[in-house]
Amino acid sequence: MSVAAARSDPTGFSLREYATCLAGIVWREGLRFLHQRERFISALVRPLVWLFIFAAGFRQVLGISIIPPYETYILYEVYIAPGLMAMIQLFNGMQSSLSMVYDREMGNMRTLLVSPLPRWYLLFCKLLAGTAVSLLQVYAFLLIAWFWDIEPPPIGYLTVLPALILSGLMLGALGMLISSGVRQLENFAGVMNFVIFPMFFASSALYPLWRVQEGSPMLAYVCQLNPFTHAVELIRFALYGKMNWVSFAVVAGCTALFMIGAILAYDPSRGFSRRGPAGGET
């Protein structure tokens, strides 16, 4: 019987304390993001290059028939906009999760992890904060895209929000899971090659699945298994005020799975253990 167990003082935390903690973590992440202007600009330039250059070039090559959720013929730019929104979140999720586990933010991770709140909750808040940052990026992108004639119905800007939160969490948790599982991926270029590019290209972000099916049934199958495809489709439907239940189920399931995996696999000593024996700081 421990001394502590016999104590009568209040233990645990109130809901208000949990909420304060979450608000604080999101607030700080937002402030930091606003201070890193280069990160904001590069996060915005990437999808805009795709939109302005790639989509314009491909407009004539790819014909898009009327597929849900669209009710008329659409331009290729309109088709790839949801995929680019998901791409912003993909990059953001990988970037913030990687920096979270590895040394760059180790100091900040230490301050976070000595908080007395449960560790799973702290990591969840961190993921939510990363998602909030991705929302800023996505809405900034949508604003610019509006001037490029990508004009979803006004209600779509609202209905897409829950979809974006869910997909942002999924991609952030995936990033965290990958970075705790694979050591060599600390290098961002590695993640680009082995995670971001395959996920992005083997999805419905750039071309509708029926088109892929015509070219390669095998690839279409892979695309269908890719959770990123479902994130894209969930966002695409939500942006037009519609619901894609299959995609929702896949994204929600993957979010839960990745998040549990990421929290279980998260090992704060990882950033140190490599340095430990070599460096003097033990």
Partner 1 sequence: MGHHDPAAMTAGDAQRGGGSLPAAGPVRDPAEVAALSIAGVTHSYGKRVALADVSFEVAPASFTALLGLNGAGKSTLFSLITRLFGIQSGRISIFGYDIGREPSEALRRLGVVFQPRTLDLDLSVMQNLLYHAALHGIGRREARSRGGEVLERIDLADRAASKVRDLSGGQMRRLEIARALLHRPNLLLLDEPTVGLDVKARADILKHVRQLVAAQGIGVLWATHLFDEVAPSDDLVVLHLGKVLAKGQVANLIAKAGGNDINSAFIRLTEAFEKTGSVAP
Positions touching partner 1 (CB under 8 A) are: 1-4, 6-14, 16-18, 20-21, 23-25, 27-28, 31-32, 35-36, 106-108, 110-119, 122, 268-269, 272-273, 276-277, 280-282
Q: Measured from the CB of residue 88, what is the shortest distance to partner 1 in angstroms? A: 23
Minimum CB separation of residue 13 from partner 1 in Å reads: 6
Using only C-alpha atoms, the chain has a radius of gyration, in whole angstroms, of 21
Quick one: 116 or 154, whose CB is closer to partner 1?
Answer: 116
Q: Give the residue with the Cβ less far from partner 1, 36 or 42.
A: 36
State in angstroms the smallest separation of the CB of 131 from partner 1. 18
Distance in Å, CB of 184 to partner 1, minimum: 18
Comparing CB distances to partner 1, the nearer of 117 and 140 is 117
DSSP the chain: --TGGG--S--S--HHHHHHHHHHHHHHHHHHHHH-HHHHHHHHHHHHHIIIIIHHHHTTT------TT--S---HHHHHHHHHHHHHHHHHHHHHHHHHHSGGGHHHHHHHHTSSS-HHHHHHHHHHHHHHHHHHHHHHHHHHHHTTT----HHHHHHHHHHHHHHHHHHHHHHHHHHHH-GGGGSHHHHIIIIIHHHHHTSSSSS-HHHHHHH-HHHHHHHHH-HHHHHHHHHHHHHTT---HHHHHHHHHHHHHHHHHHHHH--TTHHHHTHHHHSS--
CA distance 136 to 96: 14
Closer residue to partner 1 in complex, CB, 124/248: 124
CB of residue 130 to partner 1, shortest distance in Å: 16
CB of 171 to partner 1, least distance (A): 25
Name which of 81 and 109 has its Cβ closer to partner 1. Answer: 109
Give 15 or 66: the residue with its C-beta nearer to partner 1.
15
